A and B are shown apart, each in its own frame.
Chain A
């Protein structure tokens, strides 16, 4: 039996007691068909489907002997699967329901569920289809690897991954491992690391020696009449200056090397991550804002840079310094050392608590500023609309409100920082007072020299100052490990679309395209393409028609293999695209989509993007075919006009024409035009259509268009409705279907065009 959820043993017993054996599949729903919370189990044998609902009831045993639990069944129904045509998980909003469609076309409501159970019920539906078809004939069948619940939960703790596509268990992820993985990037700079370490040792050493030479040594040796070095002021000054210069020099070396390493490491890291991002499949980018992703990579890299450049070196210096100083202090005067340092734990606890509050205030301040900024950019971006609707006052009011909140948060944060931190500092000051008071008493009693006391208090202060840093370091480490985790997560994500090692490279693609029983969905729970089958002969034109969101562009994406099919296959010249090399695919297919993207660069660069070796003449020819030449030459810089972010802004139609020119220049065997002329006026569209019709000769062309008139000359048309092929045939054949979808759409559009005064 295959189960997608943990099935308690008493449920298996329930079925056994009813004589139901050889269960193939079982799934759990957390509601019954009245949408009331309870436990519902759906089970499938070779010929029957069972649904049982109930709950576990706890009942007291004899006094003092705990509780007994047993399953209390409220409903139990079964259906002959011969009478069930299909099962479906229908999505509501935050709930779903499992329904069955009978062979007579009736629907049966089997169970409701929250979205927690939806994913597993979808798998139940998938395997029900396979069992019913006879593809699975034994209860001990193997499920596909990606459907295995074990694949979706942490092998260590069993927790389900929060995101199925990112196999990262937040509970088990070890911070230490993250930092050691990052260490690989540092290993490239071994020599610099050694210099860095040596400079750190010198820096720590000199920072401890300076207070000794300028205090204890100066007072007790140079100014003490009984000392051998009495009066050697220049010697003392020489030593002090030399030590200080040496210290500054070590600090400079340290700063130079650590900045150099950190900058290089972050450079390497960004390159590695960007390389990984480019390698990833389209599915990774679904649901992620590309801008957000790049900001995340940049911000994370900067956090890591800051941590390794400013954090780690100073942490090492400070930690070594504190340990050495503690040892020295305890050697100098154990009692005074213990009493002076007693305030440190108290100070540390107080500081951590203060940080917790401060962090909250910071977050609140940050979110207030973020809200205010986004509102501001929203209004400034839409200033034309604001003015057109005379909404300046309302917008000012709205801004006033968010500005006031941001200002309040800022004031609270500043007040807190200004009031609380000085109070916290007082705790340390107490330690200092103890050292001075008790130390002074000891000097008077002759148990300590004056120089020793001055050196001692200087060292105590040197221990205190890194405490602020250490406290901050904990948060810094946490945020850096977050950043490292996010970057490694991108790096570790395996692309879904990979080239097979033995992929076929076709040098001469003919261009026959075929879809055989293709199922596909961007998420596992929702089919966008449902059992689509069609073919198009090489060098023919195929038109794809359908309402917005019917799945037309998805078909184009599947031909390009931007995504892989869930079921069935896409074939080019009889070879599954999954078996073709990327080179064969991308060199022979070009797409002009409704979303044109032009990179920062000249128009020439953008047209030549797909074929850098193209001559100037080729570029002009392609631009003329695409109807782009006329507007380009009117620009002062012609084909060298810089476009893209921050440069010349082209209109939608102009951008579209440049991207058509790009595709034409490539001269592919299969050309996909996905609403390529949607952003143009009718006159320009007609002009380009004429050019395209000569260009499509000798190429398999797949045209997706809303304006059906542009598809009249296609050799074949397919009509897509809700992801399925509703009709297919030529323009003439489809018009002959009286109640056909195409017929209705065409008539409607014709009338609309006539009303607008446009004749075909």
Chain B
């Protein structure tokens, strides 16, 4: 069955799972075969990036048309699941901040130097810091820098004391 139409009426949702779709890689790009149709390049979009990072993944073709929605990447075999997970991690690349080494505010910009979980020392600049720290729930935060890079703090309370003291003002 090529299409699993979940709801019909004014709009329809096409659910993708291992019974109707097959994902693969070609030249470093994600591909999908759905029934008779094959797509050489497809893109994955999280529909609920904060709540459900591995579920409700929209699969889009290069013309921005939705091919369908993966309800849960775990619905696929482990190899495909890993492939989808890697592709999603690449797209939603968000280094996790482990330590904040320095945080200085000057003339409307804040200058950060952090150590990520990959033990990389990264420096970045944020403008309008209050607005560009996106709080998710009570404890998680995403930092958006001037270039559009995203850094995530999984647990603000879990940061070491010195780091916490530095970010405290902005949260």
- Residues of chain A whose beta carbon lies under 8 Å from any beta carbon of chain B: 33, 35, 37, 92-95, 106-109, 112, 114-116, 118-119, 162-163, 168, 170-171, 173, 360, 363-364, 367, 482, 485-486
B108 contacts chain A at the CB level, 8 A cutoff: yes
Residue pair B169, A93 in contact (C-beta under 8 Å): no
The residue of chain A having its C-beta at the shortest distance from the C-beta of B64 within the complex is A722
- Chain B residue numbers with a CB within 8 Å of A93 are 91-93, 150
Cα A180 to Cα B125 with chains together (Å): 29
B148 closest partner in A (C-beta): A115
Provide the residues of chain B in CB contact with A112, threshold 8 Å: 90
A363 touches B169 (CB 8 A): yes
Q: Given A95-B93, A112-B90, is A106 in contact with B27 using a C-beta cutoff of 8 Å?
A: yes
* Cβ-based interface call for B39 (8 A): no
Q: Which 3 A-B pairs have the closest CB atoms?
A: A109-B28, A94-B150, A170-B106
- The verdict on B8 contacting chain A, using a C-beta distance below 8 Å, is no
A162 to B120, CA, bound (A): 21
Bound CA–CA A431/B25 (angstroms): 79
Query: Chain B nearest CB: distance from A172 CB in Å?
Result: 11
Residue B146 is within 8 A (CB to CB) of chain A in the complex: yes
Contacts A109-B27, A170-B111, A486-B108 aside, 19 further interface pairs with beta carbons under 8 A come to A35-B89, A92-B91, A94-B94, A94-B150, A95-B91, A95-B93, A107-B27, A107-B29, A108-B27, A109-B29, A114-B147, A115-B145, A115-B149, A170-B106, A171-B106, A173-B107, A364-B168, A482-B107, A486-B107
A482 proximity list for chain B (CB < 8 A): 107-108
9 CB < 8 A contacts A-B: A37-B120, A94-B92, A94-B148, A114-B93, A114-B149, A115-B145, A115-B148, A115-B149, A486-B108
**Please, how many angstroms separate the alpha-carbon atoms of A95 and B150 in the complex?**
9
Interface set, chain B 109-159, CB cutoff 8 A to A: 109, 111, 118, 120, 124-125, 127, 130, 145-150
- Given known contacts A92-B93, A116-B149, A173-B107, A364 and B29 CB-to-CB distance under 8 angstroms: no
Instruction: Give the docked Cα–Cα distance between A367 and B135 (Å).
Output: 14
CB-CB under 8 A from A118, the residues of chain B are: 147-148
A162 to B90, Cβ gap below 8 A?
no
- Of all chain B residues, the one with the shortest Cβ separation from A117 is B147
Q: Does B41 contact A (CB under 8 A)?
A: yes
* Cross-chain contact B107 with A168 (CB below 8 angstroms): yes
A364 to B169, Cβ gap below 8 A? yes
Distance of B143 from chain A, by nearest CB (Å): 10
Which residues of chain A are within 8 angstroms of B27 by Cβ–Cβ distance?
106-109
Determine the chain A residues whose CB is within 8 A of the CB of B29 once the complex forms: 107, 109
CB <8 Å contact, B168 and A360: yes
Tell me the minimal C-beta distance from B37 to chain A in angstroms: 17
A364 partner residues in chain B, CB cutoff 8 A = 168-169
A94 touches B41 (CB 8 A): no
Q: Which residues of B are found within 8 Å of A486, using beta-carbon distances?
A: 107-108
- Enumerate chain A residues within 8 angstroms of B41, measured Cβ to Cβ: 107
A162 B149 Cβ-Cβ under 8 A: no
Q: When A107-B29, A360-B168 are in contact, do A163 and B146 touch as well, CB less than 8 Å?
A: yes
Say whether B109 contacts A162, CB under 8 Å: yes
Contact: A485 with B107, CB < 8 Å? yes
Q: Is the CB of B125 within 8 A of A360?
A: no
CB within 8 Å of A: which B82-116 residues: 89-94, 106-109, 111
> CA separation between A115 and B145, bound complex, in Å?
10
B residues in contact with A171, CB < 8 Å: 106
Name the residue in A119, A163, A168, A170 with the highest tally of chain B Cβ atoms < 10 Å from its Cβ: A170
Does A116 contact B147, Cβ atoms closer than 8 Å?
yes
Give the residue of A92, A170, A485 whose beta carbon is less than 8 angstroms from that of B90: A92
> Nearest Cβ in chain B — how far from A103, in angstroms?
15
Question: Once the chains bind, are A119 and B147 in contact (CB under 8 Å)?
Answer: yes
- Residue-by-residue, is B59-82 near A (CB-CB < 8 Å gives 1, otherwise 0)? 000000000000000000000000
B109 near A170: Cβ-Cβ < 8 Å: yes
State A432–B118 Cα separation when bound (angstroms). Answer: 58
Residue from B89, B90, B94, B169 whose CB has the most chain A CB atoms within 10 Å: B90
In the complex, chain A residues whose CB is within 8 Å of the CB of B118: 37
Point out the residues of chain B lying under 8 angstroms from A115, CB to CB. Answer: 145, 147-149
